[in-house]
Amino acid sequence: MRRNAYKPGDWVVYRKTKHSTAPGPRAHAVSPSESGDTYSYVVDKYWVVTDVAPDGEVVLCTRRGKERHVNASDRNLRRATWWERLRFNERFRAVEQTVEEVAD
């Protein structure tokens, strides 16, 4: 088994690239477009692994209960660090509660 293999219940961070006219307060790596009308930026999403497929696809649950299917080797997907687990504990717990509600 690979050392970085994900399993259900793991807390993960997904770096999602977004584009808009006004980046939010959690945006980082902000860069303007050539015309200057919009911005490209990255937002960290705090999700929980709900399932792992044999083909290497990881099923993630969002705070609002949506499922996202991501390849385990995606560079934007990583385990939450101990600091993130401590600092964003409430966000991860909210996602876990959503997973429990969806399962019932």
Mean pLDDT along residues 15-35? 91
Residue 4: pLDDT band by 50, 70, 90 thresholds? low
Residue 13: pLDDT band by 50, 70, 90 thresholds? very high
Q: How far is CA 78 from the centre of its chain?
A: 8
Highest mean pLDDT of the ranges 12-16, 20-24, 34-38: 12-16
Distance CA 48, CA 97 (A): 10
Collapsing DSSP states into helix, strand and coil, what is residue 97?
helix
**Looking at the whole model, is its pTM more than 0.75?**
yes
Collapsing DSSP states into helix, strand and coil, what is residue 34?
coil
Query: 34-58: per-residue pLDDT in tens?
Result: 888 899 999 999 999 999 998 889 9
Q: Are 48 and 11 in contact (CB under 8 A)?
A: yes
Mean predicted lDDT score pLDDT of the chain: 90
At 104 the pLDDT is: 66
Residue 1: pLDDT band by 50, 70, 90 thresholds? very low
Structural domain spans, the chain: 11-103
At 33 the pLDDT is: 86
